[in-house]
Amino acid sequence: MTFGVRMNSETAGRWANTKARFRRGPGTTYRKLQSLKFLLTRDHRAVRHFLRTPFARPMSLAARLSMLAQYMRITHAVRGYHTLTEILTVTEAILKRINPVVVEAGAGSGSSTAKLSIATRAAGGRLLVFDSFQGIPENDDVHHLLDGRPLTFRRGAFRGRLTAVKKRVAMFGAPEVCTFHKGWFEDTLPAFDARPDVVLLDVDLLSSTKTCVREIMPRLKEDGILFSQDGHIREIVALFLDEAYWRDEVGIEPPAVERRPKLLALRPRGVTQPGRAG
Ligand SMILES: C[S@@+](CC[C@H](N)C(=O)[O-])C[C@H]1O[C@@H](n2cnc3c(N)ncnc32)[C@H](O)[C@@H]1O
In a domain, 2, yes or no: no
Decide: 202 in ligand 1 pocket, CB within 6 A. Answer: yes
Q: Which atom of ligand 1 is nearest to the CA of 108?
A: 27
In a domain, 105, yes or no: yes
Name, in order, each residue with C-beta under 8 angstroms of 26's C-beta and a sequence gap of 6 or more: 76, 77, 78, 79
In a domain, 31, yes or no: no
Each residue of 124-147: pLDDT tens digit? 999 999 999 999 999 999 899 999
Phi, psi of 178 (to 5 degrees): -100, 140
pLDDT at 277 exceeding the cut of 50: no
Tallying the residues shown for the chain, one arrives at: 278
Of 143, 15, 136, the residue nearest 81 (C-alpha): 136
In a domain, 8, yes or no: no
Give the residue, out of 76, 102, 129, 131, with the most ligand 1 atoms within 8 A of its beta carbon, to mutate for a pocket test. 131
- Domain CATH number, residue 63: 3.40.50.150
Each residue of 220-276: pLDDT tens digit? 999 999 999 999 999 999 999 999 999 999 999 999 999 988 999 999 996 544 333
Q: Which atom of ligand 1 is nearest to the CA of 79?
A: 9
Each residue of 59-118: pLDDT tens digit? 999 999 999 999 999 999 999 999 999 999 999 999 999 999 999 999 999 999 999 999
Decide: 205 in ligand 1 pocket, CB within 6 A. Answer: yes
Show the domain range for 75: 42-267
Q: How many domains does the chain have?
A: 1
